[in-house]
Amino acid sequence: DMSHPQMPKVIEDAKIAILTCPFEPPKPKTKHKVDIDTVEKYEKLHETEQKYFADMIKQCKDSGANLIICQWGFDDEANHLLYKNELPAIRWVGGVEIELIAMATGGRIVPRFVELSEDKLGKAGKVKEVSFGTTKDNMIVIEDCANSKAVTILVRGGNRMILEETKRSLHDALCVARNLVKDNSIVYGGGSAEIACSLAVEAASDKVKGVEQYAMRAFAEALDAIPLALAENSGLAPIESLTAVKAQQVQEGNQRLGIDCKDEGTNDMKKQNVFETLIGKKQQMML
């Protein structure tokens, strides 16, 4: 979320400075100790620290940025000065997320303030902070990015089991979409393809002599396991359903006939809009 609670929650036409350098004064790389024994010394130290923060914020403002995304945290003083200078900021963004944001917005990751310039800023149509329910969970949403058509799917559920099941379902759906992009050929589902293949293999086995025909018939019977399982899981009588659909396929010569799992009154999978990708079905058969 935003580093300061009073910073704006929505930034339109965002110009994003993506930083991996912390908003803090430079520190010596050796062990050190500073003794302050007078008020003047403390004020001088505080003034020097303020100057560092002011220079950092000025460099960000001069680049044209209206939003800071930083991999590290901010000092309280820096956070206050960012708010005072009307420069919204997001802190503690992970390294992987920083890279993805840079790719999506077309920005460059800047390791030092002196290297920050307008051409290294990322651009987005809108950046907003979204709250969820009563749990006080906040999330930053970056929309209309310059170089990305990617989307983020946010999954929320009552427990971990529901979340994992939803993630698996989404993964399966995305794999189906990927298979259709690779090869847009389809076969009809509901066990219709397995029944048609079983009938074809069984018919071909009659033309084969010797013991090989028994292996082919065993394979044809194994293909029937899919429509049998579909019928059983749908609460239908598995054997009766399978034999009825098989007989119907033979009589009508319609290879789109499968198990009516949804009880819609028709076994034609084309009318029920039930189909699978051909590439997925090939992979199943080859296992």
* SS3 readout for 259-271: CCCCCCCCCEHHH
**Non-local CB neighbours of 236 within 8 Å, separated by 6+ positions:** 259, 260, 261
Backbone torsions φ then ψ of 114, nearest 5 degrees: -65, -20
Report the distance separating Cα 113 and Cα 111, nearest Å. 7
Backbone torsions φ then ψ of 177, nearest 5 degrees: -60, -40
What is the mean pLDDT of each successive set of 10 residues along the chain, which is 287 residues long?
82 89 75 80 82 84 88 80 86 86 88 87 88 75 80 83 93 89 88 90 88 89 90 89 90 88 86 87 81
Q: How far is CA 240 from CA 124, 189, 244, 259, 269, in A?
A: 59, 19, 6, 11, 19
Q: Are the CB atoms for 204 and 287 separated by under 8 Å?
A: no
Sign, Cα dihedral of 218, 225, 258, 241: positive
Q: Are the CB atoms for 16 and 67 separated by under 8 Å?
A: yes
pTM for the model stands at 0.60
Give 226's Cβ-side CA count (13 Å radius). Answer: 17
Q: What was the pLDDT predicted at 134?
A: 64
Q: What was the pLDDT predicted at 106?
A: 87
Q: What was the pLDDT predicted at 135?
A: 64
